[in-house]
């Protein structure tokens, strides 16, 4: 007799299913496909030589690589946490090493924060759209979402106030060049969000995954920095998640979460339970690399990605038919397209792969309420400029055919 596994699975996993989009995107691994789907950094610009040198250094050190290959503390490699304290300090947030936890990518921090804060039925406030991976991290803890509409300055304040009045457990936000829609929260809106959340006693989870990738304009204070400025320089209301995946490489799987000590202490216990610690050798290597080249490497990435963003925006301007609108991100990896009412992003993807050899991600997946049917996300970071122009031309041609 075969076991009926479905009946054994806990109720909380019922919402976790492979999506039809994932099935479609399996088809895009062909060289003729121009993919705007990924949302990943360009591997040609990884700091591979610096990483190789750092690994060699570990193995050639006097003490041998023993320590680097050993278990370590759950909090994370101390010199890396010290480096992060300096980094956060430069951004206006004073944290001590015990107010930061190294995680296996910032994705793990989102999972831990869900585990720490969400009980079944608890309300969680998110923007619509929001980062799909955050919904995937939170949903197994069985929240109910209250979603806040966005305009070009970020979350709409009237919606935020209405959401806060319902006392959500927290607000989750990606303030810089949001995945998926590229929006950056304006300085005034940042202040207002921290104000309103402080008054309502609702914590904010700030996801700063893309904050370093700014291609124009001034860097804006993080919500953590605004919160800290009101609280003698230390965080009180805002839990800040950061990642080295977009600035260095994703494969080392190193991210971090910083915030009030009480929160971090609990998260350390979760880290112990989940995987004991993030890879010792990867943390050592990453520390070596960021100490050496963080600023220069990120500067180079900004030049590379800016050209791609500019190419995509220019091609959209040149080729897109009337009725299609898009965001103009100041940084990050994403442009968000709104198709004419009545068109469906998922149906368009199926045709785009088949007829035009172009791929992207339909927008509905980024809405907890599955609205946003007529939106799509394009990523420009991992595609060379010539291919970006050609891909947008093909997509625009398809849209002309579809709308005819
Ligand atoms: C907004 C956002 N947060 C977090 C992550 C997770 O990144 P990582 O776990 O690689 O640090 C991503 C990855 O795409 C992201 O887009």
Nearest-CA residue for atom 5 of ligand 1: 107
Write down which residue in 293, 317, 338 finishes a domain. Answer: 293
253 and 340: one domain? no
Nearest-CA residue for atom 6 of ligand 1: 107
Asked whether residue 274 is assigned to any structural domain, the reply reads yes
286 and 323: one domain? no
By most ligand atoms within 8 Å of CB, the mutation choice from 243, 252, 334 for ligand 1 is 243
Distance between CA atoms of 144 and 119, rounded to whole angstroms?
10
Asked whether residue 341 is assigned to any structural domain, the reply reads yes
| pLDDT score of 234 | 83
355 and 395: one domain? yes
25 and 127: one domain? no
97 and 120: one domain? yes
56 and 38: one domain? no
The CATH number linked to 16 is 3.90.1150.10
Asked whether residue 1 is assigned to any structural domain, the reply reads no
Q: Is the pTM of this model over 0.85?
A: yes
The CA 41 to ligand 1 mean position distance, Å, reads 11
Low-confidence ranges of the chain (pLDDT < 70): 15-21, 24, 64
Asked whether residue 3 is assigned to any structural domain, the reply reads no
64 and 199: one domain? yes
State pLDDT tens for residues 29-67.
888 999 999 889 999 999 999 999 999 999 998 776 778
338 and 231: one domain? no
Distance between CA atoms of 304 and 317, rounded to whole angstroms?
20
Asked whether residue 2 is assigned to any structural domain, the reply reads no
Asked whether residue 4 is assigned to any structural domain, the reply reads no
Asked whether residue 5 is assigned to any structural domain, the reply reads no
The secondary structure of residue 354, as a DSSP letter, is: I
The CATH number linked to 109 is 3.40.640.10
The CA 107 to ligand 1 mean position distance, Å, reads 6
| pLDDT score of 205 | 98
State pLDDT tens for residues 238-268.
999 999 999 999 999 999 999 999 999 999 9
Nearest-CA residue for atom 14 of ligand 1: 39
128 and 174: one domain? yes
The CA 284 to ligand 1 mean position distance, Å, reads 21
Asked whether residue 82 is assigned to any structural domain, the reply reads yes
Strands (E) across 158-261 are located at 171-173, 204-207, 238-243, 255-258
The CA 316 to ligand 1 mean position distance, Å, reads 26
| pLDDT score of 1 | 77
Is 228 in a helix, a strand, or coil? helix
By most ligand atoms within 8 Å of CB, the mutation choice from 37, 108, 109, 131 for ligand 1 is 131
Query: Residue 67 forms beta bridges with which residues?
Result: none
Residue 171 and residue 197 in contact, taking contact as beta carbons nearer than 8 Å:
yes
Nearest-CA residue for atom 8 of ligand 1: 105
Residue 399 half-sphere exposure toward CB, CA atoms < 13 A: 27
Nearest-CA residue for atom 3 of ligand 1: 209
By most ligand atoms within 8 Å of CB, the mutation choice from 39, 46, 105 for ligand 1 is 105
279 and 317: one domain? no
| pLDDT score of 138 | 96
| pLDDT score of 18 | 62
Per the structure, the complete domain to which residue 346 belongs is given by 10-46+296-403
Write down which residue in 293, 326, 358 finishes a domain. Answer: 293
Query: Minimal CA–CA distance to 393: which of 41, 42, 34, 38?
Result: 34
176, two tokens: 């810089």
Distance between CA atoms of 298 and 294, rounded to whole angstroms?
6
17 and 55: one domain? no
Write down which residue in 293, 325, 348 finishes a domain. Answer: 293
333 and 204: one domain? no
Q: How many domains does the chain have?
A: 2
Ligand 1 binding pocket, CB closer than 6 Å: 39, 105-107, 131, 133, 174, 179, 207, 209, 243, 245, 250, 255
| pLDDT score of 19 | 63
């Amino acid at each position: 007799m075969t076991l009926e596994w479905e009946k054994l699975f806990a109720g909380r996993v019922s919402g976790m299913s492979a999506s039809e989009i994932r099935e479609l995107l399996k088809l895009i691994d062909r060289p003729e496909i121009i993919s705007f789907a990924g949302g990943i950094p360009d591997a040609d610009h990884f700091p591979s030589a610096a990483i190789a040198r750092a690994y060699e250094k570990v193995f050639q050190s006097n003490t041998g690589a023993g320590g680097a290959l050993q278990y370590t503390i759950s909090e994370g490699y101390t010199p890396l946490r010290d480096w992060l304290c300096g980094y956060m300090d430069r951004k206006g947030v004073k944290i001590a090493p015990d107010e930061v936890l190294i995680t296996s990518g910032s994705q793990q921090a989102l999972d831990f924060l869900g585990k720490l804060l969400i009980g079944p039925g608890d309300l969680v406030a998110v923007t619509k759209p929001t980062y799909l991976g955050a919904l995937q991290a939170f949903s197994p803890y069985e929240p109910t979402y209250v979603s806040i509409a966005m305009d070009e300055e970020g979350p709409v304040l009237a919606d935020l106030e209405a959401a806060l009045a319902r006392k959500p457990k927290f607000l989750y936000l990606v303030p810089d060049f949001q995945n998926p829609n590229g929006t950056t929260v304006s300085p005034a809106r940042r202040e207002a969000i921290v104000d309103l959340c402080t008054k309502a006693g609702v914590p904010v989870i700030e996801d700063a995954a893309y904050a370093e990738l700014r291609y124009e304009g001034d860097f804006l204070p993080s919500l953590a920095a605004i919160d800290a400025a009101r609280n003698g320089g230390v965080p009180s209301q805002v839990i800040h998640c950061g990642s080295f995946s977009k600035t260095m490489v994703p494969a080392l799987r190193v991210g971090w979460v910083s915030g009030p000590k009480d929160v971090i202490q609990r998260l350390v216990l979760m880290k112990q339970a989940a995987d004991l610690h993030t890879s010792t050798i990867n943390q050592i290597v990453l520390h070596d690399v960021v100490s050496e080249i963080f600023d220069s490497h990120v500067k180079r990435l900004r030049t590379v990605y800016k050209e791609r963003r500019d190419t995509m925006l220019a091609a959209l301007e040149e080729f897109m038919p009337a009725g299609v609108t898009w965001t103009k991100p100041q940084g990050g990896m994403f442009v968000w397209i709104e198709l004419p009412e009545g068109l469906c992003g998922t149906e368009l993807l199926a045709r785009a792969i088949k007829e035009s050899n172009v791929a992207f991600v339909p927008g509905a997946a980024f809405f907890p309420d599955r609205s946003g049917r007529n939106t799509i996300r394009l990523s420009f970071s991992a595609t060379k400029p010539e291919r970006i122009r050609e891909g947008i031309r093909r997509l625009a041609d398809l849209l002309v055919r579809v709308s005819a």
